[in-house]
Structure 1
Amino acid sequence: MNRLRPLFLLLAGLALSSSLTAQSPHPFPAYTGKALVPVQRVASGRTIHRFFDTSPLSPSGRYLALFRFPQETRSPQPGEVGEVILVDRQTGQERVVAQSRGWEMQLGANVQWGRTDEELYFNDVDTTTWQAFAVQLNPLTGKARRMGGTVFMASPDGTKLATYNLISSRRAQVGYGVVVPKERVIRNDGPVETDGIDVVNTATGTAQRVVT
C-alpha cells in the first residue's frame, strides 16, 4: 500500500488541477518550471494563502482570497501595511479588497472564508490603540465589520472564529500573530484570567473566553 501512495497522490493532484482548469474559462498563465502535474500561476509576487489546512477557494469556488506582503526579506514592523487580495477565477482579475496591519510572515493576516463568498475574515491592528481585531468583509461590496476578537481559524460553517492572543504569542513563536510595539506586548508568567483561547460569534461579533 505504501508503494502505491505516491501514485494515488499524483492522480489526486492531476484530478484537482484538471478540475480547476476546467472551471476557469480564462486560464491563468501556465507555470513553465518543472512540475509533476499541470500548474497555473494565479497571483502576482509576494502573495500567499494562509496555510495548508485552509483553502483559499471561496465557498462557490469562483474566488481565491490571498495576502500580499509589502516585502518578504524581513519581519514586519508595527503598523506596516499588507494587502488582502481577491482573484476572480472566471476572469483572472486580481484586485486589492482591503489593507491589513495585522499580519506576520508565516500566515499573513490569517485570511479565511466564512459561510459564503460574501464573508471573508482577516486580522488588522488599530494603530491608535495597538489593539488587534478581526474584520468581516464582503469582498464583493466592500462592506466591513469589526469583530470583538481576532481570527486564527474560522469554523467550517463560518459561524465561529477561534483565536488566542496574537500579540503576546510572538514571545513563544514568531510568525503566527500580529506585530505591535514591544512595550505593548504583555508577558504572562503562568495561566492568567486575562489571557487564553477565545471564540468569536460571527453573527454578533462578540468574543467569549473558553480557556484561560
Structure 2
Amino acid sequence: MRLLAPIALIAFGMPVHAQDAEALAEKMLTALGGRAAWAATTNTVNDSQQNWDGDPSVLRAVITMDFERPRFRIESRGEGLHVIRVIDGDKSWRMTRDGKISAVPPELFADELKWYRGHVYRTLHRIAKRDPVIKLAVGKEGRLEVFEGETRIAWYLLDRANQPYRYGANEDDAGSLFGPWDAEKSGIRHPVYVTRTDGKWRAMLKRLEVNVSLDEALFARP
C-alpha cells in the first residue's frame, strides 16, 4: 500500500495537496451555483448599502466589475457625497468629494490593481474556468488559497455547506465575513452581506446584475 501514493502522483501529475485543493474548489463552486455558471460570468454589477465608521456613515455603492480585463467602476453616494473611481489602464480617472475630476494617482492605481487581482468574485470566475495563471492550495484552517506564482492573492474558508464564510486577499490574514449566499442571479450565488471582522464596515446587497453589456461610455472620463 505504501507504493500507491507515489504511483498515484506519477499517474495524475500533481501532489496530493493540489488534488485536495481542486476537490475543495469543486465543492465550493457547486455550492455557489456550479462551475459552468461561474466560468460563464464575465462581469457583475453589485449595488449595496454600506455602513461604516466614516463620514457619511451610510453609503450606496455601485461596483461594476469586468472579469475579463482589469477594468472597473465604483460610484458611491451618501449625504453630501458623490464620488466615482474608474480603473481602466491609462484612461483611469476619479471624481473626488469636491467634484473635481482628475487622473488616478500612480500609488492609488497600483493599489486598485492589487485589489482587482484578488477580487473575491472575479477570483471565483478564474477558479471556475481553470485559469492557468493561478494555482490552488489548502492552507491553515483548511483554507482554499489561490496563488499567482508564489504570491497568494486570495483565500476562502468554507462552512459546512461548502460556502465561503470568510475571505481575504493578498496579505490580509484576518479577512472579511460573509453572510449566507442566498442571493442568486444567472445561476450564481452571492452573499447577502459582507462585514469586516471588527464590524466597522458592512455591506448589504441591494441589487445584483450579471453579464450586462458594458458600454464604453460607463468608463469614459467626462
Fold similarity call, TM over 0.5? no
- Whichever structure has more strand as a proportion of its residues is 2
- Whichever structure has more helix as a proportion of its residues is 2
Q: Which is bigger in relative contact order (C-alpha 8 A, separation at least 6)?
A: 2
